[in-house]
């Protein structure tokens, strides 16, 4: 184990049940290339799980971080991780569903989210499958409430970075955000391979069939990293810190 309590050899999954997903990896990579999005900012990690996104924001200099999760066990793990990464940091953890968890919180400069949107009714893969990745038959059970509340939680000029499987309706997401005053675009995409459990559970509802890719006998979902920016009045400019993509 290293000093963050992360197992570094085989057996990691038994020791640390909250392990960052490939989807979070996309967000981490983007933040590392655009550190100004977090540096000095007020950041929210919605559905923090392992705490990876909140931890990344702290390491990149976030002024304050709030993290939420439905799952109290996840928050416990994230709290421990964040305290070790940045003992003196201004961190607030909230247990609860979606935006309801944020009673008393204001708006944010940066919202990070890698929420469940795998299109399936249920998934047997792993003890945490239900909370972790299942997005209901159309994959949008958690995504839609996230989109509905997002514009009201961003400061003017604030950004959101979140991931979504293309097959659950990427165009729908971009259109909804645009209608709510957030300019949104796909910054990056990646292919995430599906194991047998997920292939078996994958719902037939498929808004964008091109997001399910079969290649060389394997099945992949195309995942998009979406960057949304609130275009409200009074947006910050000229800080010199932000490098955007």
Ligand X SMILES: C[S@@+](CC[C@H](N)C(=O)[O-])C[C@H]1O[C@@H](n2cnc3c(N)ncnc32)[C@H](O)[C@@H]1O
The footprint of ligand X (CB under 6 A) covers 18, 20-21, 24, 47-50, 52-53, 68-71, 74, 97-98, 114-116, 131-133, 142
Comparison of 26 and 184: residue with beta carbon closer to ligand X = 26
CB of 225 to ligand X, least distance (A): 13
Give which of 171, 166, 106, 113 is closest to 139, Cα–Cα: 166
Comparison of 135 and 231: residue with beta carbon closer to ligand X = 135
The structure tokens listed for 168 are 């659950």
Comparison of 48 and 164: residue with beta carbon closer to ligand X = 48
Bridge partner residues of 165 (DSSP): 223
CB of 130 to ligand X, least distance (A): 9
Residue carrying the six token digits 């050899």 = 9
Bridge partner residues of 108 (DSSP): 154
* Distances in whole angstroms, Cα of residue 130 to Cα of each of 82, 124, 138: 24, 8, 15
Comparison of 68 and 206: residue with beta carbon closer to ligand X = 68
CA dist., res. 115 & res. 134, Å (int): 9
Question: Residue with CB nearest ligand X?
Answer: 49
CB of 126 to ligand X, least distance (A): 11
CB of 149 to ligand X, least distance (A): 11
- Say if residues 53 and 28 touch (Cβ distance below 8 Å): yes
């Amino acid at each position: 184990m290293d000093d963050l309590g992360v197992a570094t050899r085989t057996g990691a999954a038994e020791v640390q049940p909250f392990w960052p997903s490939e989807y979070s990896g996309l967000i981490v990579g983007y933040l590392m290339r655009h550190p100004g999005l977090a540096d000095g900012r007020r950041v929210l990690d919605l559905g923090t799980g392992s705490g990876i996104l909140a931890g990344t924001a702290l390491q990149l200099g976030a002024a304050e971080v709030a993290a939420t999760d439905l799952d109290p066990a996840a928050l416990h793990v994230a709290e421990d991780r964040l305290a070790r990464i940045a003992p003196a940091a201004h961190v607030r953890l909230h247990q609860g569903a979606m935006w309801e968890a944020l009673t008393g919180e204001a708006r944010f400069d940066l919202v990070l989210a890698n929420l469940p949107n795998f299109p399936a009714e249920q998934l047997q893969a792993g003890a945490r499958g239900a909370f972790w990745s299942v997005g209901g038959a159309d994959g949008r059970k958690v995504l839609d409430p996230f989109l509905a509340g997002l514009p009201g939680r961003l400061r003017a000029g604030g950004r959101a970075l979140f991931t979504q499987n293309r097959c659950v309706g990427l165009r729908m997401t971009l259109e909804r955000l645009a209608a709510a005053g957030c300019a949104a675009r796909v910054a990056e995409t990646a292919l995430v391979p599906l194991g047998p459990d997920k292939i078996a559970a994958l719902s037939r509802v498929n808004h964008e069939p091109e997001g399910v890719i079969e290649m060389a006998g394997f099945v992949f979902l195309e995942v998009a990293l979406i960057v949304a920016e609130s275009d409200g009045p009074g947006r910050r400019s000229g800080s010199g810190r932000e490098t955007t993509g």
